[in-house]
């Protein structure tokens, strides 16, 4: 088994990761016998009505773990199960948000957890076919998921009569080919349809017109992996964990300048200090946390002084940030915020699909402005341009969140680290220690 860097084993908050580390957990027999796998599927198909399953998920208060944090049960309820014609469940395994590796962690440790979650969800919303859209770079997770699906097919869980129920269930795989924008729901659907992945205008929403024009439920990997536990233990039990509006636990990938980077299962409501300093060991000797991204690079940054911010969505919103993908990137005081922001804007510019004007032009304009600043050619003009671009990317100007994300990087770093920006732009100097070769 590959090296586990993250949560595993028997802890009260290890809803997802309890059995991670069990040898051969990716094999169906081990998943079933050692980890109680597929008991939830049996319960859902045999003992529950589809509407009951959706109700349990609603009661649990589970929120989407991909980035938007939308109430999962409510989303399931948008699908009209009784409408004629096919419906689909599409699983967003495109995980490309910088700093996020939790879905990969799940797929490499317990792919059957996802298979089981998918089957339950499909049954609940009236879909017979699920498509997992998995990023093309995830060679190993793809292979393991594929094997798991085939094992489930051999066992009859995937097939025309799962567990004897007259309700065909199938899971198919579709590989992405390198585009972060495919993490956006409607862009993912476009890609699944074999097109250039550009988001769609909403409405119509995928629940009405999704994959191939059909009603579609789109969920993140981790979200669906939480479903078996909720079915087995009840939604109320899940809601007891975490906070009232952000119940449960989530996997937080912690990376960057920390001693123990890893994927940690955290009960929502814990502080970032706990996550970064305790679970991940804090920054290396002699360094301090300077800034951290609490939910992937798209979440507005928080400075060291806000380490005690709680990890639930509401606390993050109050801190003018967001839960996002749960990817915590920690940067210590030996690095330059302006350079970090520049690198992230290069990312957004590279990944911009080009459909809407502000993102297509604005991200690139910001990159070029950062380059002038970092080359020592900056002035107040460049700072004003960065602010102008940032404003132009936010607040509904763009067709999707990729645009806003670029804006938030600029906006939040300018807000918390204006002096670093002014060092570069106005004084043409960087007062941060040189980037070290390794942490």
Asked if residues 105 and 99 have their Cβ atoms less than 8 Å apart, the reply is no
Assess 414 for contact with another protein (CB under 8 A): no
Cβ atoms < 10 Å from Cβ of 266: 22
Assess 288 for contact with another protein (CB under 8 A): no
- Tell me the Cα Rg of the chain: 22
Assess 212 for contact with another protein (CB under 8 A): yes
Residue 200 token pair: 């769609």
The backbone region for 393, taken as left when phi is positive above 0, alpha when psi lies in -120 to 50, beta otherwise, is alpha
Assess 398 for contact with another protein (CB under 8 A): yes
Considering only 20, 142, 229, 272, the residue that binds another protein (CB under 8 A) is 142
Q: 340: closest CA among 254, 256, 402?
A: 256
**Taking contact as CB under 8 A, which single stretch among the options 56-64, 118-126, 355-363, 426-434 is the one that binds another protein?**
355-363
Q: How far is the CB of 117 from another protein (least distance, A)?
A: 19
**Of 47-86, which residues contact another protein (CB under 8 A)?**
86
**Of 254-273, which residues contact another protein (CB under 8 A)?**
254-257, 261-263
Q: How far is the CB of 40 from another protein (least distance, A)?
A: 26
Q: How far is the CB of 68 from another protein (least distance, A)?
A: 14
Binding residue count for another protein, defined by CB under 8 A = 103
**Of 94-113, which residues contact another protein (CB under 8 A)?**
95-101, 103-104
Relative to beta strand 170-175, strand 216-220 is unpaired
Asked if residues 159 and 169 have their Cβ atoms less than 8 Å apart, the reply is yes
Q: How far is the CB of 15 from another protein (least distance, A)?
A: 20
- Kindly report whether the peptide bond that precedes residue 89 is cis, defined as omega within 30 degrees of 0: no
Nearer to another protein, 248 or 261 (CB): 261
**Of 11-40, which residues contact another protein (CB under 8 A)?**
none
**Taking contact as CB under 8 A, which single stretch among the options 13-21, 223-231, 236-244, 381-389 is the one that binds another protein?**
381-389
The whole-angstrom separation of Cα 66 and Cα 130 is 18
Q: 127: closest CA among 173, 91, 163, 155?
A: 91
Assess 356 for contact with another protein (CB under 8 A): yes
């Amino acid at each position: 088994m590959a090296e586990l860097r993250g949560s595993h084993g028997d802890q009260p908050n290890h809803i997802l990761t309890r059995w991670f580390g069990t040898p051969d957990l990716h094999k169906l027999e081990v998943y079933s016998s050692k980890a109680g796998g597929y008991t939830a599927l049996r319960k859902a198909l045999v003992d529950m009505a589809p509407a009951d399953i959706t109700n349990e998920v609603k009661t649990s208060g589970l929120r989407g773990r991909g980035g938007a944090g939308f109430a999962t049960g409510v989303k399931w309820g948008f699908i009209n199960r009784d409408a004629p014609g096919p419906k689909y469940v599409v699983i967003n395994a495109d995980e490309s948000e910088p700093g996020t590796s939790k879905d990969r962690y799940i797929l490499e440790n317990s792919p059957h957890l996802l298979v089981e979650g998918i089957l339950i969800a499909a049954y609940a919303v009236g879909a017979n076919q699920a498509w997992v859209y998995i990023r093309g770079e995830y060679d190993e997770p793809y292979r393991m998921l594929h094997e798991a699906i085939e094992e489930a097919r051999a066992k009859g869980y995937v097939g025309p009569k799962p567990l004897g129920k007259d309700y065909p269930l199938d899971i198919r795989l579709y590989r992405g080919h390198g585009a972060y924008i495919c993490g956006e729901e409607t862009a993912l659907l476009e890609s699944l349809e074999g097109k250039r992945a550009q988001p769609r205008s909403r409405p119509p929403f995928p629940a009405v017109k999704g994959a191939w024009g059909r009603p579609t439920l789109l969920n993140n990997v981790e979200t669906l992996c939480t479903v078996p536990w909720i079915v087995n233990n009840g939604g109320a039990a899940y809601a007891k964990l975490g906070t009232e509006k952000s119940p449960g636990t989530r996997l937080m990938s912690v990376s960057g300048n920390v001693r123990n980077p890893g994927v940690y299962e955290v009960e929502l409501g814990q502080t970032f200090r706990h996550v970064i300093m305790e679970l991940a060991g804090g920054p290396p000797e002699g360094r301090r946390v300077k800034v951290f991204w609490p939910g992937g690079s798209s979440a507005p940054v928080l400075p060291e002084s806000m380490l005690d911010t709680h990890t639930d969505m509401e606390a993050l919103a109050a801190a003018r940030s967001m839960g996002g993908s749960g990817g915590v990137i920690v940067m210590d005081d030996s690095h330059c915020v302006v350079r970090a922001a520049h690198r992230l804007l290069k990312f957004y510019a590279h990944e911009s699909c080009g459909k809407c004007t502000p993102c297509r032009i604005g991200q690139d304009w910001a990159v070029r402005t950062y380059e002038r600043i970092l080359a020592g050619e900056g002035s107040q003009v460049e700072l004003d341009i960065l602010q102008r671009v940032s404003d132009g990317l936010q607040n509904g100007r763009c067709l999707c969140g990729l645009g806003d994300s670029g804006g938030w990087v600029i906006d939040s770093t300018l807000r918390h680290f204006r002096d670093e920006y002014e060092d570069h732009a106005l004084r043409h100097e960087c007062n941060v220690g040189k980037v070290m070769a390794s942490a």
